[in-house]
Amino acid sequence: MTPGVGQALRPHFPAFAHQPPPFHYLDNAATAQICAPAAEALLRFETRTRANVKRGVHRLADAATTAFEGVRADLARYLGVADPDEVVLTTGTTAGLNIAANGLRHRLGPGDEVLVTELEHHSDLVPWHLAAEATGATVRAIPVGEDGRLDLDRLGRVLNDRTRIVTVAHVSNVTGTVTDLPRLAAATHAVGAVLVVDGAQGAPHGPLDLPTLGCDLYALSGHKMFGPTGSGALWGQMDLLAEMPPFMGGGEMIRRVTIEGSTFAPPPHRFEAGTPAIGPLIGMGAAARFLMTLDWNALRRHEARLTGRVLEGLAGIEGIRVFGPPAAPDRVGVVTFTVDGLHAHDVCQILDAERGVALRGGHHCAQPLMGRFGLVASARASLAPYSDDDDVDALIEGLDDAIRRFR
Binding positions for ligand PMP, rule: CB under 6 A: 29-30, 92-94, 121, 123-124, 169, 173, 198, 200-201, 221, 365
- Closer to ligand PMP by Cβ: residue 215 or 402: 215
In the complex, minimum distance from the CB of residue 98 to ligand PMP, in angstroms, rounded to a whole number: 9
- Which of 92/103 has CB closer to ligand PMP? 92
Residue pair 99/247 in contact by the 8 Å Cβ criterion: yes
Considering the complex, what minimum distance in angstroms separates the CB of residue 95 from ligand PMP? 7
CB of 91 to ligand PMP, least distance (A): 7
The residue (of 220 and 310) whose beta carbon lies closer to ligand PMP is 220
Long-range contacts of 349-355, Cβ-Cβ distance < 8 Å, separation of 24 or more: 350/398, 350/402, 351/395, 351/398, 351/399, 351/402, 354/398, 354/401, 354/402, 355/22, 355/24, 355/394, 355/395, 355/397, 355/398
* Amino acid in position 117: T
Nearer to ligand PMP, 30 or 328 (CB): 30
Give the shortest CB-220-to-ligand PMP separation in angstroms.
Answer: 8
- Cα 350 from Cα 352, distance rounded (Å): 5
Q: Which of 35, 215, 348, 365 is catalytic?
A: 365
Annotated active-site residue 348? The verdict is no
Answer for the pair 266, 86: CB distance below 8 angstroms, yes or no: no
**Residue 65 or residue 93: which is nearer to ligand PMP going by CB?**
93
Kindly state the smallest distance separating residue 245's Cβ from ligand PMP, in Å.
Answer: 21
Question: CA 265, 224, 68, 249 torsion: positive or negative?
Answer: positive
Rounded-to-integer distance, Cα 219 and Cα 197, Å? 6
**CA 194 to the chain's CA centroid:** 19
Instruction: Give the DSSP per-residue string, 236-268.
Output: E-HHHHHHSPPSS--TTSEEEE-SS-EEEPPTT
Phi, psi of 208 (to 5 degrees): -115, 165
How many CA within 13 A on the CB side of residue 136? 3
Expressed in angstroms, the distance from the first to the final Cα of the chain is 36
Half-sphere exposure at residue 49, Cβ-oriented, CA atoms within 13 angstroms: 18
Question: For the chain, how are helix, strand and coil distributed in percent, rounded to 5?
Answer: 45, 20, 35
> Which residues, 6 or more positions from 16, have their beta carbon under 8 angstroms from its beta carbon?
10, 23, 33, 386
Distance, CA of 74 to CA of 334 (rounded, Å): 26
Residue 279 or 313 having the CB closest to ligand PMP: 279
Closest contact distance (angstroms) between CB of 143 and ligand PMP is: 18
For the bound state, the minimum distance from the C-beta of residue 358 to ligand PMP, rounded and expressed in Å, comes to: 15
Round to whole Å and give the CA distance between 132 and 187: 22
Closest distance between ligand PMP and the C-beta of residue 198, in Å? 5
Q: Which CB atom, from 128 or from 402, has the smaller least distance to ligand PMP? A: 128
Between 98 and 387, CB nearer to ligand PMP: 98
C-alpha torsion sign, points 240, 174, 231, 385: negative
Cβ contact 245:106 at 8 Å: yes
Crossing angle for the helix pair 93-103 and 126-135, to the nearest 10 degrees: 20
Q: CB atoms < 10 A from the CB of 325, how many?
A: 17
Question: Which positions are catalytic?
Answer: 365
